[in-house]
Structure 1
Amino acid sequence: MSGCGAEKGLISIDEALQLIQTRPQVLATETLPLGQCLNRYLAEAVYSNVNLPNFSQSAVDGYALNTMLEHLQDARFDLKGEIKAGSVSDCPLEQGQAIRIFTGGKIPEGTTHVARQEIVIVESDANIRLAEHIKPEADIRFTGEEIQVGQQLADVGQKINSGALAALSMAGVQTIDVFSVPKVAVVVTGDEVAETPADLQAGKVFDANGPLLKAWFNDYGLDVEILHIADEAEQVRHCFEQLKQQYDVIITTGGVSVGDYDFVRPCAFETGFEQVFWKVKQKPGKPLFFAEYKPLNSEGHPCYLLGLPGNPAAVYVAMQIYGKTLLDALQSQDQPLEWFSAILTHELKSDARERFLRMHAYFEYGQLKLQSLAKQQSHMLSNLMQANCLVRIPANIKIEAGQLVSGLFIHN
């Protein structure tokens, strides 16, 4: 077989992902206030120091009752004040007594039922009557029925999203141990970036990679500065020499192929980086470069360089697949990407390389279906206005309409 897909030295997508998942050294941990941990990964399991609920309470606005009667419809009770949420009653309920109570209020000693206010008839300031029968222990939230002291709330590696943060907060958790987030430097290489519309007349183009990466990292939860440097070996070398001391990850765009002005790989080697792999049998993004710098002294920290091609679609795909995998691996996340299966609605010609195609996924009659989008070349981005997933198409296989393929939803 001939063509770039058969080029020697290319590794598979799965091999590249495996190396990025397993090669990085996990970052240190830190203890932070819970409110600062959104989108962070837990470094230690969290256990509850309290019961939830911490006391038995009313599940509704209504009346706490004390009765041994088997049939409660039309039963009457003497009314003894009220309990608001956040307050308590020191007086236990006696047989035939009731007290007004609100949702979340601590039920007094002696309570056997809580009657929601919709079924209670207030006959006077001192008496109520039930319009319906209710079962024993109705509408009572009992101590520890959701969480008990010592119960595990969250495990190592769990991502703290807004729901997890709220659940931990409700359990009174104040601080948690999380993995440090990677310090990332983003370097856009090239002399072709236009700074003004007039620059377009000089053969330059507007920058998409800088804004793309800035937005991608913001969505991931990191605020990064974008550095622009020219395609000059001395600039690239100096940049790597400085950044490897300060950052855990360097992301570059452009300069990773075999052109006369592609200086990322040689300058990486000159500044102490060791190649993990270069070139993946995929489309777009074949000349993907992954390298590692290990300091000679024990006080330093490793730095990982992920060199992306310069074409913006290749940058976008590589960040969704490999960039996220690398950042997650540094925070002890080595689980595989979450691929879904869906039905392709049309045929696709074969290609010598595996492809990541931008597609639109939608449900039709309960089935998840995929529609490919036009303008898939690596220098084109306009179809990202409609794309909501990346679909992995195997090499050397013609895909027929109606066939199942694997996809990855785009979240940013």
Structure 2
Amino acid sequence: MNPPIPLHEAQARLLDLVRPTATEAVRCEDALGRYLADPLIAKRTQPAADLSAMDGFAVCGEAPWKVIGESRCGAPFGGFVSSGEATRISTGAHVPEGADSIVLIEDAEVNTVDSLTATEKPTPGRHIRRAGSDFEIGAQLLDAGVRITPARIALARMAGHAELTVHMAPKVAILECGDELSYTPDMCNFDEIPATNGSMLNAMISLENITAATVPPVPDNLDSLAAAIDAHADHELLVISGGASVGDHDLVRPALKKLGATIDFWRVAMKPGKPLMVATRGKQIILGLPGNPVSSFVTAFLFMLPALRKMLSATDCLPRPIDIPCTEALPAVGPRRTFMRATLADGQVTPIAQQGSGALGALAEANVLIERAEHCDETRAGTSVPVYLIENGGIA
């Protein structure tokens, strides 16, 4: 049996196997959480004209000024402002041609019906948003592969785009294996446990705007498992929870071999999650995750989500850690990279006492994972450690 491979090597090998999906054009409003397939190029200049940043008067030259009109949003003043003239102006309205300053409404004194002075002398150019100060037509605003956020949807529309080109959501299926699993948690027999990993993994997948196909748990039977795997051959990613270890009833590897799949690697030097498997069957990627809930969660976080991001052509596929001080001393680590459930509060992380791979209560309490490198020494309380944020999938 080959020794477990290092985590970063395993992640790199998985991502090398993954190919992006085809592209499609979707409305900007429907692109949230997807990744740009092409750079975002501005189709218009913003602002398209000089705009007032404040309510007041657009003036030319020195006071007093004669008020000759008004410039409103959507109804700009159509004439020319000469020296000694002014127009009323609203925030966001076009600055009339010829005007060089904005007198704020609170500084303005209208002495007669149309004669204006100011308590503060206006500074030329102040409170004017110059044309093109945000971006100009033809400018590249976003790189391909960036995640589409609410602010980036607004930017795309402001740049003149009604649609964005993104990669299509891949077809994903989740299989849970085990005779002991009950699909209905409220009708669970004494010798059964509720099936939880499928729902958990599907919820994680939804972070990437994808919904996976799920089926009732597959029994520990070679023919049944092979048939379930074969029934989802048209999915780009097949995630199998449980059955990837070395026990008599761990049948994922035999089932894959029976179907002619190629196992790229099996077992990773990490804790929890050592019995992780990556295989291919034609263009399909198959992930065999451990059955213990915490192990399944951690391996999905570090392998399943990055694989999906690669299919969506994301620039950043792997989660990124940030360094945060730890409130407690941490023990030395052996030959496997270790991930500890922890809570982040007040700018510090605190490990949760229960670190067992079946402890769902501790996993539900955690909002971060602390990463501990192989063979690292004990660290003192207050030392900064690499931490992954769980709720956003580790991606900002």
- Return the TM-score normalized by structure 1: 0.89
**Alpha-carbon offset, residue 8 of structure 1:** 4.1
Question: Which residue identity is paired with 1:325?
Answer: P
Partner of 1:23: 17
Partner of 1:38: 32
Match of residue 367, structure 2, among 361, 364, 388: 388
Alignment correspondent of 2:286? 305
**How far is the alpha carbon of 1:10 from its aligned partner?**
0.9
For 1:130 and 1:334, the matched residues in 2 are separated by 53
**Is the Cα contact below 8 Å between 1:53 and 1:146 reproduced in 2?**
yes
Structure 2 residue aligned with 1:379, among 342, 358, 362? 358
CA contact (8 A) 1:20 1:329 kept: no
Q: Which residue of 2 aligns with 1:50?
A: 44
Instruction: Establish whether residue 12 from structure 1 lines up as the match of residue 17 from structure 2.
Output: no
In structure 1, what is the equivalent of residue 229 of structure 2?
Answer: 240
Change (3 A) 1:316 1:137: same
> CA shift at 1:390, angstroms?
0.9
Q: Give, in angstroms, the shift of residue 36 of structure 1.
A: 1.8
- Cross-structure match for 1:142: 130
The alpha-carbon deviation at position 128 of structure 1 amounts to 2.0
Please, which moves more after superposition, 252-261 or 306-315? Answer: 252-261
Q: Distance in 1 between matches of 2:384 and 2:58?
A: 57
What is aligned with 2:338? Answer: 355
Name the SS of the counterpart of 2:232 in structure 1.
helix
Provide the C-alpha distance between the structure 1 equivalents of 2:263 and 2:314, rounded to a whole number of angstroms: 22
State the Cα distance separating 1:339 from its structure 2 match.
1.6
Partner of 2:148: 160
1:334 CA drift (Å): 5.8
Q: Distance in 1 between matches of 2:278 and 2:384?
A: 31
Q: Is the 8 A contact 1:10 1:280 kept in 2?
A: yes
User: Which of 315, 320, 328 in structure 2 is aligned with 1:338?
Assistant: 320
Q: Determine if the alignment matches structure 1 residue 120 to structure 2 residue 108.
A: yes
Offset at residue 249 of structure 1 (A): 0.1
Say if 2:17 and 2:285, in contact at 8 Å, map to a contact too: no
Determine whether 1:326 maps to 2:307.
yes
The alpha-carbon deviation at position 349 of structure 1 amounts to: 4.6
Q: Deviations over 1:326-361 (max 9, x none)?
A: 111222336443122233321325344221111123
Q: Which runs of 4+ in 1 moved over 6 A?
A: none
One-letter amino acid of the structure 2 residue matched with residue 158 of structure 1: V
Q: Distance in 2 between matches of 1:409 and 1:42?
A: 23
The 8 Å contact of residues 22 and 334 in structure 1, kept in 2 or not, is answered as no
**2:215 is paired with a residue of what secondary structure?**
strand
| Alpha-carbon distance between aligned partners in 1 of 2:51 and 2:185, rounded to the nearest angstrom | 65
Matched residues in 1 for 2:386 and 2:78: separation? Answer: 62
User: Equivalent pairs: percent with the same residue?
Assistant: 27
Instruction: Name the SS for the 1:382 alignment partner.
Output: helix
CA distance in 1, matches of 2:108, 2:146: 46
CA distance in 1, matches of 2:366, 2:241: 22
Q: Deviations over 1:11-49 (max 9, x none)?
A: 111111111222212222222222221111112112112
Equivalent residue letter for 2:207: D
1:407 pairs with one of 364, 387, 393: 387
Write the letter of the residue equivalent to 1:172: G
Give the 3-state SS of the residue equivalent to 1:105 in structure 2. coil
Instruction: Tell me if structure 1 keeps the 8 A contact 2:175–2:215.
Output: yes
Name the SS of the counterpart of 1:280 in structure 2. Answer: coil
Aligned-partner residue type, residue 142 of structure 1: R
How far off its partner does 1:241 sit?
1.3
In structure 2, C-alpha distance between the alignment counterparts of 1:309 and 1:347, rounded to whole Å: 25
* Cα deviation digits, residues 80-134 of structure 1 (max 9, x gap): 2322211122221122111111011112221111112111122233222211011
Superposition pairs of residues 216-235 of structure 1, within 5 angstroms: 216-228=204-216, 229-235=218-224
Number of the residue aligned with 2:171: 183
Alignment-derived partner of residue 3 in structure 1: none
Q: TM-score w.r.t. structure 2 length? A: 0.92
Q: Distance in 1 between matches of 2:365 and 2:113?
A: 64
Q: Tell me how many residue pairs correspond in the alignment.
A: 387
Gaps of 5+ in 2: none
Decide which moves more: 143-152 or 347-356: 347-356
How far, CA to CA, are the matches of 1:61 and 1:55 in structure 2? 17
Deviation at 1:200, TM superposition (A): 3.8
2:351 alignment partner AA: S
User: 1:151–1:268: structure 2 CA closer, same or farther, 3 Å change rule?
Assistant: same
**C-alpha RMSD of matched pairs (Å):** 1.9
Q: Does 1:314 align with 2:302?
A: no
CA distance in 2, matches of 1:102, 1:323: 52
Give the AA of the match of 2:99.
T
